[in-house]
Amino acid sequence: MGEVDPAFIQDPEHRPNISIIQADGIPVIDLSPLTNHTVSDPSALQGLVKEIGSACKEWGFFQVTNHGVPLTLRQRIMEASRMFFAQSLEEKRKVRRDEKSPNGYYDTEHTKNVRDWKEVFDFQAKDPTLIPVSFDENDDRVTQWINQSPQYPPNFRAIIEEYVEEMEKLSYKLMELIALSLGLHPKRFEEFFKKEETSFIRFNHYPPCPYPHLTLGVGRHKDAGALTILAQDEVGGLEVKRKADQEWVRVEPTPDAYIINVGDIIQVWSNDAYESVEHRAMVNSEKERFSIPFFFFPTHYTQVKPLEELVNERNPSRYRPYNWGKFLVRRKGSNFKKQNVENIQIYHFKIA
0.85 exceeded by the pTM?
A: yes
Residue 39: is its pLDDT beyond 90?
no
**DSSP 8-state code for residue 139:** -
Strands annotated E in the chain: 28-30, 61-65, 104-107, 119-124, 129-132, 142-145, 200-206, 218-221, 227-232, 238-241, 248-250, 258-262, 279-281, 289-296, 303-304, 322-323
Strands 61-65 and 28-30: parallel
Q: Determine the average pLDDT of the residues in 17-28.
A: 59
pLDDT of residue 16: 45
pLDDT of residue 282: 85
pLDDT of residue 23: 44
- The Cα diameter of the chain in Å comes to 59
Domains along the chain with CATH numbers: 6-349 (2.60.120.330)
**C-alpha distances out from residue 210 to 6, 75, 215, Å:** 14, 29, 9
Number of H helices, E strands in the chain: 8, 16
Mean of the per-residue pLDDT values for the chain?
87
pLDDT of residue 12: 41
Q: Please write the tens of the pLDDT for every residue from 174-228.
A: 999 999 999 999 999 999 998 899 999 999 999 998 776 666 678 889 999 999 9
* 286 close to 277: Cβ distance less than 8 angstroms: no
**C-alpha distances out from residue 121 to 154, 205, 252, 279, 346, Å:** 16, 9, 24, 20, 26
Residue 113: pLDDT band with limits 50, 70, 90: very low
pLDDT of residue 8: 36
- C-alpha to C-alpha distance for 44 and 324, rounded to whole angstroms: 34
Residue 342: pLDDT band with limits 50, 70, 90: low
**Percent of the chain predicted with pLDDT > 90:** 70
- C-alpha to C-alpha distance for 51 and 44, rounded to whole angstroms: 13
- C-alpha to C-alpha distance for 186 and 42, rounded to whole angstroms: 9
pLDDT of residue 167: 98
Backbone angles phi, psi at 49, to 5 degrees: -60, -40
Compute how many other C-beta atoms are within 10 angstroms of the C-beta atom of residue 253: 17
- 156-181 and 71-85 are packed helices; what angle lies between their axes, rounded to 10 degrees? 130
**C-alpha distances out from residue 77 to 125, 189, 204, Å:** 15, 28, 12
